[in-house]
Amino acid sequence: MITAIHQLKNIKTKQFTFAFPPNEFILESGKKLGPITIVYETYGELNKEKTNAILVAHALSGDAHAGSHPNDNIVGWWDNLIGPGKFIDTNKFFVICSNVIGGCSGSTGPSSINPKTKREYATDFPIISIGDIVNVQKKLIDHLNIDKLLSVIGGSMGGMQVLQWMVAYPEKIKSAIPVATTMKHTPQQIAFNEVGRQAIISDPNWKKGQYYDSKIPVKGLALARMIGHITYMSDDSMKTKFGRRYKLNKENNKFGAEFEVEGYLHYRGDSFVKRFDPNSYLYITKAMNYFNIQNGKRLGSIFKGLKAKVLVISFKSDWLYPAQQSQKIVKACKLANVKTTYCDINSNYGHDAFLLEVIEEGQIIKHFLNSVLSND
């Protein structure tokens, strides 16, 4: 059912499995998980000194396939940024992107087989956090024998992982680029995720998560994705993209999709269910909602002692992760005397800008990475 895994088989995906019982991985919740498989891709070559490695962290629905290799049958989600001669130039840098745990594109998640029961974990899968996701990434970086990353880059939930790296492993990064993200979700952001989860849970096919050998709750997941997509776009980008135009093939019933925007949301919802596991959606959105890098600390002490250079990026029309949230990150960096650059990029795309506004974003990232590289 999760075709991404099959598709990814044509792609140069690598695997790393660790934490075999009895030495399971201890999650932040104290629960144990193991063995853990983490699926990852790499682009470019690691230099001899191992100083050119960049970790790219993906967002809620992303996977390890950030860039592309020759003969790939699908393009990576940040392909216009990552590649030879591109903004994140793989002639220069060694780029790593791994699928998060809890996900469904190869890394251990609720759709993986639980060795104890020989069945899918489903809702027996433990609750995971952004901290757990990053701790597992750290295991992968150790496995690759990389002592220090040149940079960690990510947008949205990927940005949360970047912030987590800044706090959990400040000595292990030379720079960090959190894009269109937040130090913690607001009630509004928590609420949108909750509606998405409720859409899945109220689908009769969800059956408390035990659906792997029967019908999948595709309706619920598609609905969650539709809500998500509304929050990823801006009012302006929707007007430009769809206006009030009617779609070509109207459905033959009173309440079928008529407007182009409706058709688009249906299409997005329907294509998402082919590649994403509903239970993963529940687990990952939970991790996002729990994320709170401040965690009761004073703003000035969050990044205290961080030596890495930080580039914070937001987008003007992003209302899901608005600029003020990035400015709060900047403020926390300033108070901690962290070397910080901040750019609020002009864009109409809304939150999706971090995937679409690649020229402006790419230029800034490129120049920033070059300055980090030449700082040796």
CB of 330 to other proteins, least distance (A): 6
Contact characters 297-336, other proteins, x per CB under 8 A: ------------x-x------------------xx--xx-
Q: Of 345 and 355, which CB lies nearer to other proteins in the complex structure?
A: 345
Cα–Cα distance for residue pair 290/166, rounded to 1 Å: 18
- Going by C-beta distance under 8 Å and a sequence separation of 6 or more, which residues neighbour residue 202? 220
Residue 252, both tokens: 């033959």
- Going by C-beta distance under 8 Å and a sequence separation of 6 or more, which residues neighbour residue 5? 104, 105, 106
* 343-355 CB burial, b ≥16 within 10 A, e <16: bebebbbbbbbbb
Q: Does 253 bind other proteins (CB under 8 A)?
A: no
Q: Does 339 bind other proteins (CB under 8 A)?
A: yes
| Cβ-contact 87, 366 below 8 angstroms | yes
CB of 51 to other proteins, least distance (A): 17
Stretch that binds other proteins, among 41-49, 77-85, 251-259, 363-371 (CB under 8 A): 363-371
Q: Residue 256 corresponds to which amino acid?
A: G
Residue 254: how many other CB atoms lie within 10 Å = 6
318 belongs to the catalytic site: yes
69 belongs to the catalytic site: no
Q: Does 179 bind other proteins (CB under 8 A)?
A: no
Q: What are φ and ψ of residue 121, in 5° steps?
A: -60, -40
Beta bridge partners of 310: 176, 340
DSSP 8-state secondary structure symbol assigned to residue 72? -
CB of 83 to other proteins, least distance (A): 21
Q: Of 98 and 340, which CB lies nearer to other proteins in the complex structure?
A: 340
Stretch that binds other proteins, among 111-119, 135-143, 236-244, 344-352 (CB under 8 A): 344-352
Greatest Cα pair distance, the chain, in angstroms, is 65
Cα–Cα distance for residue pair 195/325, rounded to 1 Å: 22
What SS3 state is found at 74? coil
Q: Does 374 bind other proteins (CB under 8 A)?
A: yes
CA distances from 209 to 1, 73, 227, 279, 291 (A): 15, 31, 21, 6, 23
107 belongs to the catalytic site: no
User: Which of 342, 356, 358, 362 is the binder for other proteins (CB under 8 A)?
Assistant: 342
CB of 331 to other proteins, least distance (A): 5
Q: From the centroid of its chain, how far is CA 351?
A: 13
Q: Does 89 bind other proteins (CB under 8 A)?
A: no
Size of the residue set binding other proteins (CB under 8 A): 23
Stretch that binds other proteins, among 10-18, 25-33, 68-76, 368-376 (CB under 8 A): 368-376
Stretch that binds other proteins, among 89-97, 102-110, 225-233, 340-348 (CB under 8 A): 340-348
CB of 55 to other proteins, least distance (A): 21
Q: Does 346 bind other proteins (CB under 8 A)?
A: yes
Report the DSSP pairing between strands 340-345 and 53-57.
unpaired
Q: Of 295 and 370, which CB lies nearer to other proteins in the complex structure?
A: 370
Catalytic option among 112, 129, 156, 326: 156
Catalytic residue annotation: 156, 318, 351
Chain residues that interact with other proteins, rule: CB under 8 A: 309, 311, 330-331, 334-335, 339-346, 360, 363-364, 367-368, 370-371, 374-375
